[in-house]
């Protein structure tokens, strides 16, 4: 009898759900949200929400790596060091 740790099972399920969602997002870019949602059995509203959140996260990452933010961070450090 094989005894498994429930944590590893839930981790595997989470990883599977993440892979499925990534595939659904890629398909939504190609075929549109309604078709991708139907193909993957995901509610359109959920897929659309995840897609929007992914887009916003991508924008935040781009902002964090922008030269303007680097300047602002350096400027803030200089101001704090003078206090």
Residue 27 and residue 35 in contact, taking contact as beta carbons nearer than 8 Å: yes
Work out the angle at residue 29's Cα, subtended by the Cα atoms of residues 28 and 32, and round it to the nearest 5 degrees: 50
Confidence of residue 10 (pLDDT cuts 50, 70, 90): confident
Taking the complete model, does pTM exceed 0.75, yes or no? no
- Give residue limits of the domains in the chain: 6-82
* Residue with the larger pLDDT of the pair 67 and 28: 28
What value does the mean pLDDT take over residues 48-58? Answer: 92
Q: Which residue, among 28, 31, 19, has the nearest Cα to 48 in the 3D structure?
A: 28
């Amino acid at each position: 009898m094989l005894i498994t740790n429930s944590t590893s099972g839930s981790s595997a399920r989470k990883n599977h759900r993440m892979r499925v969602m990534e595939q659904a997002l890629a398909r939504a870019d190609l075929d549109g949200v309604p078709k991708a949602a139907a193909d993957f059995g995901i509610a359109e509203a959920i897929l659309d929400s995840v897609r929007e959140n992914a887009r916003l996260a991508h924008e935040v990452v781009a902002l964090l790596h922008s030269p303007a933010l680097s300047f602002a961070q350096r400027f803030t450090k200089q101001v704090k060091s003078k206090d």
